[in-house]
Structure 1
Amino acid sequence: MRTLIVDDERLARAELRRMLAKHPGVEIVGEAANAADAAQMVASLDPDLLLLDVQMPGGSGFDLLAALEDAPEVIFTTAFDQYTLQAFEASALDYLMKPIEPQRLAAALERAAARLGLAPTPSSTPRKLFIRDGDRCWFVRLEDIRLFESEGNYTRLYFDGARPLLARSLLQLEQRLDPQQFFRASRRHIVNLAAVRGINNEEGGGLTLHLADMAVEVSRRRAAALKQLQEF
């Protein structure tokens, strides 16, 4: 796994380098001491994994992930903070307490490798969003999101029983989505076609898409485009 270490403490980065040297499946591609530098290095180095400190001057690890278009796999590293730990545990995010124990590092690396696959490539690694809404955080694959709903300059996402609000517009998100899988049903909605369970024809030429727990109306103009897709 191509790994980028992000921590504002030089000694902490050196300790991680020492510990990672015992894992032949890990290649350290760089180090960053703050979120701004890390963002540039993610863009240029395309790492598979971030070992990411939570609290750093000038921007937290959460701030970094929120700024990335495509986030790599992440293992957070953090000093003791009960509030932070509760957020991690509630969100099932992988984290390591400082000082980091070798056994926990090995287990976290193994889980990250499993999520990436045995031979990950940019084309095969699922694209993900990092989402933070209040005290909850998620890493979610784009294909697991069944509906994107515009709320002004924000977008509400629907997946796995969760409905967090993301601080990005629907237009920004649409530019990242595969138009063969995600359909712009209206000004407010983008639907994952894989989540559609049924379609009703409406008067005037419109359509209604039925998902597992909701229905989305499609305008007549957009309905014509939908009918041209091979899936339907």
Structure 2
Amino acid sequence: MRLKCIVIDDEPLALQLIRNYVSKFPALELVKTFEDAISGGEYLAKHDIDLLFVDVNMPDITGVDLVRSLEKKPIIIFTTAYKNYAFESYELQALDYLLKPIDLKRFSAAVEKAVDYYKYKNLPDEPREDESIYVYSEYRMIKILLKDIEYIESMADYIIIHLAGSDKPVMSLMTLKKVLEKLPKEKFIRVHRSFIVSVNKIRSLHNRKIRLETIELPIGDAYNDVVNQYLKSS
């Protein structure tokens, strides 16, 4: 398996650097490079590409606007010379972004993530050692192992994924309903309008409360019968 990729960057040195980096990874096949977004966009409109490295700031149109205009979006990795990453790119759910000057080690990590994400999206029936989901957080796609999830909490327009053994939860712009669609029904259950819990992390059920490994959560009125029936049958 090789990911077909193209690079779009108006800086010749940056373009050459990424070209050299790509050549070091057998999992990548560099198809084309472009020094302007318009030519790159025209190519993308006519060809199927798996992975796109694209500069954020270009003189004709920005990388963000280019990606937004694409009907069929490949996996996106933005490159930028600016630490303040454009918020508008959030909606595009780029897999990652690389800060210039790009370090080979950091580039390698992004490529590894791209290959893993490609398998996740395109080979769903292939047996995997670790079941996982991807969510968009902090301007990049984050891989989360299902076995690490203790519970998921809703907060306004966001979800907060609480991980066992970690004091740093993952926040993502998503609804509980949407994330529940990504999760296997036999392993996760919604117990409240604000909470989804991992069945494997349930320790006890008492007085309309469900005890997990680190916290006790309420069971909503609308979910009480469903929770009890689910746990009895599992």
Provide TM-score, normalisation by structure 2.
Answer: 0.58
Deviation at residue 183 of structure 1 after TM alignment:
0.6
In the alignment, structure 1 segments of 5+ residues that lack a partner are: 65-70, 85-92
**1:212–1:4 distance in 2 versus 1, CA, 3 Å:** farther
The residue aligned with 1:217 is: 218
Query: Residue 23 of structure 1: SS of its match in structure 2?
Result: coil
Checking the alignment, whether the CA contact within 8 Å between 2:149 and 2:161 is kept in structure 1 is: yes
Aligned residues: 195
Q: Percent identity?
A: 23
Checking the alignment, whether the CA contact within 8 Å between 1:29 and 1:45 is kept in structure 2 is: no
Counterpart CA distance in 1 for 2:132 and 2:216 is 27
Counterpart CA distance in 1 for 2:22 and 2:15 is 10
Letter of the structure 2 residue corresponding to residue 220 of structure 1: N
Letter of the structure 2 residue corresponding to residue 173 of structure 1: V
Letter of the structure 2 residue corresponding to residue 201 of structure 1: H
Checking the alignment, whether the CA contact within 8 Å between 1:150 and 1:156 is kept in structure 2 is: yes
The residue correspondences of 1:72-221 to structure 2 (distance < 5 A) are: 77-79=79-81, 81-82=82-83, 96-100=98-102, 103-104=104-105, 107-108=108-109, 112=113, 116=116, 122-123=123-124, 124=128, 126-132=132-138, 139-141=142-144, 143=146, 144-159=148-163, 160-196=166-202, 198-202=203-207, 206=208, 208-218=209-219, 219-221=223-225
Q: Could you say what the CA RMSD is over the residues aligned between the two structures, in angstroms?
A: 4.5
Provide TM-score, normalisation by structure 1.
Answer: 0.59
Deviation at residue 130 of structure 1 after TM alignment:
1.9
Deviation at residue 191 of structure 1 after TM alignment:
0.8
Counterpart CA distance in 1 for 2:112 and 2:150 is 26
**1:169–1:138 distance in 2 versus 1, CA, 3 Å:** same
Counterpart CA distance in 2 for 1:30 and 1:183 is 46
Deviation at residue 195 of structure 1 after TM alignment:
2.8
